Amino acid sequence: MQIFRRLIKFARKPSREKREKIRTLARFYQKKALERWQDWDWRVPRLGNDRTAYLIGVFGTGLTYLERQLVDNIGVRARYIRYGIRLQTRPTSMIYWGHATLRYPFGPRCQPEVTSRIFEAVRARIADVIFVYRHPLDSFLTNWVWWQMFLRENRWVSGITEVYKSTDDFCDDLERNFADFKAFANADPGFSGFSRGPILSIRQFVEETELFLQSPVLPIRFEDFFIDPSKEFGKIARVMSVDLDLSRTQMRPPSTKPYRFLEVREKVPQFRDFIDGLDAETRSRIENLGYNLGG
């Protein structure tokens, strides 16, 4: 019965949402096919002078959006995009994307010891890391929604816009379930998803972002894609040595909202109190990243 309810729900969606969902499923199965190919074929490809590329974020920073733009715009090398971080000890054409940390273990994601070895490859000039970051409060709101959908419906989503019709709808849900959000943001063992592995508190998340930006990475600020997506994507293409004609790209700005947390702050008093209660070190680190906390 559940599958029929999902089919009915899908049929009622607007045509644009249906097309995007179909595109997402096509990309998913394309990636699965590549993973199976890698399992049996020991030859990891290298085209020309390519270096292994890693597109990394801590979480909730827009990686799914950027992976879609890579698939649509970089030609042949898009065949070698794979979700999940795998260490390569020599240059390849592979593009790995996913979540990673440098200091704190985080669920099943790329662990600090693997990330440190990837940076050894960067210093040896056989790999490149593109680090994508975003306002930490937007990241936490987005990732909390991801966890809610995964735990409630066993469903993966790309962001808040995919789940809620409006920010008001999201704020209503956040208000009702704020205790759960607060447990998540504080990495409280009482959070319902904690049994699946360690999660990061907002303090640890901000610290991890700071550590990545102090490392040999190409820093990419997600919010800049709302201003000029072609310009920002061009930075990634140059690092990957992709010969890209920006006039012919199909770049689209993100479908979500930048700095959504400011609107949520005004509509959800508990969220405003949570921001005001952040410790001084975390507040200072957020400001050092170039962001403010509103208010």
* Residue 123 burial class via C-beta count within 10 angstroms: exposed 0-12, middle 13-18, buried 19 and up: exposed
CA–CA separation, 6 vs 3, rounded Å?
Answer: 5
Neighbours of 231 (CB within 10 A): 12
Q: Please tell me the predicted confidence (pLDDT) of residue 41.
A: 39
Positions of E strands within the chain: 52-57, 81-83, 95-99, 127-133, 218-221
User: Two tokens at 250?
Assistant: 């199909």
Over its length of 295 residues, how does the chain's per-residue pLDDT go in tens digits?
555 566 666 666 666 565 566 656 555 554 554 444 444 334 688 988 999 999 999 999 999 999 999 998 998 899 999 999 999 999 999 999 999 999 998 877 788 999 999 999 999 999 999 999 999 999 999 999 998 888 888 888 888 999 999 999 999 999 999 999 999 999 987 776 666 668 899 999 999 999 999 999 999 999 999 999 999 999 999 999 888 776 777 788 998 989 999 999 999 999 999 999 999 999 999 999 999 998 6
Whole-prediction pTM value?
Answer: 0.84
Per-residue tokens: 137:
């409060």
Amino acid identity of 259?
Answer: Y
- Give the whole-angstrom CA distance, residue 58 versus residue 216: 16
For residues 190 and 136, give the distance between their C-alpha atoms in angstroms, rounded to a whole number.
22
In this structure, what token pair is assigned to residue 177? 């379930």
pLDDT score for 278:
97
The pLDDT score that the predictor gives to residue 239 is: 93
Q: Provide the pLDDT for residue 19.
A: 57
Residue 162 carries which side chain, given as an amino acid letter? E
Orientation of helix 167-176 relative to helix 178-185, angle to 10°: 80
